[in-house]
Amino acid sequence: MIDLSVLVIPSLLVAGLVLIVLGVQGRDRPRPDWRWSRRLRDWMTQAGVRNVSPAQLMTFCVVVGLVAGLLLLALSRSPWIALAFTVLAGYLPVLVLKARQRRRARELQEVWPDAIDNLASGVRAGLSLPEAVAGLAERGPEPLRPVFARFADTYHATGSFG
């Protein structure tokens, strides 16, 4: 029988050391943007997840995996089963993110023809292109309105269409 403190205490010590190192380093220098980080950030943006960094998502994955692994280790007393569920539970948030990204991409593919039709009719009605694009914030398809509202705010504040 495995004593649970053999796994928990070293894990807590390692987590404490990581937090100390991260606290000492600070955020003075820019972080490197690795390829996986960019891809994950793109998935998160496409899934509509904002205000969460890739590092926060990865931390969440690790915590979920460790909690599931420790829980299964306590219940089953089998380290191999616990390890398998640790990996599966840790990857679960990424799978949810991918599924949400695919679903949102399908939704956006369905509404873009309406947005283009509204844009074309606005230009035909005599609006300038920036005004027609900004108008999609009110008359465009519902899933696209927040994006066009941000554009309209930026356009009205700066006057720059670029």
Q: Is the model's pLDDT at 34 over the cut of 70?
A: no
Q: Domain count of the chain?
A: 2
Clarify whether residues 109 and 150 are in a common domain.
yes
Q: Is the model's pLDDT at 63 over the cut of 90?
A: yes
Q: For residues 46 and 67, which has the higher predicted lDDT (pLDDT)?
A: 67
Domain with 53 in it: 5-26+36-104
Clarify whether residues 63 and 121 are in a common domain.
no
**pTM reported for the whole predicted model:** 0.59
User: Quick one: average pLDDT of 68-86?
Assistant: 90
**For the segment 89-140, what is each residue's pLDDT rounded down to a tens digit?**
999 998 999 999 999 889 888 988 888 898 888 889 888 888 888 888 888 8
Q: Is the model's pLDDT at 57 over the cut of 70?
A: yes
List the structure tokens of 28: 């003075």
Q: Is the model's pLDDT at 30 over the cut of 70?
A: no
In a domain, 81, yes or no: yes
Clarify whether residues 123 and 151 are in a common domain.
yes
User: Quick one: average pLDDT of 82-88?
Assistant: 90
Clarify whether residues 58 and 85 are in a common domain.
yes
Q: Confidence band (pLDDT; 50, 70, 90) for 86? A: very high
Clarify whether residues 95 and 136 are in a common domain.
no
Clarify whether residues 99 and 45 are in a common domain.
yes
Residue among 70, 82, 86 at smallest CA distance from 8: 70
Clarify whether residues 16 and 50 are in a common domain.
yes
Clarify whether residues 75 and 96 are in a common domain.
yes
DSSP string, the chain: ---THHHHHHHHHHHHHHHHHHHHHTT-SPPP--HHHHHHHHHHHHTT--S--HHHHHHHHHHHHHHHHHHHHHHH--HHHHHHHHHHHHHHHHHHHHHHHHHHHHHHHHHHHHHHHHHHHHHHTT--HHHHHHHHHHHS-GGGHHHHHHHHHHHHHH----
**For the segment 8-27, what is each residue's pLDDT rounded down to a tens digit?**
777 888 888 777 877 766 66
In a domain, 118, yes or no: yes
Proportion of the chain above pLDDT 90, given as a percent: 19
In a domain, 48, yes or no: yes
Clarify whether residues 84 and 148 are in a common domain.
no
In a domain, 31, yes or no: no
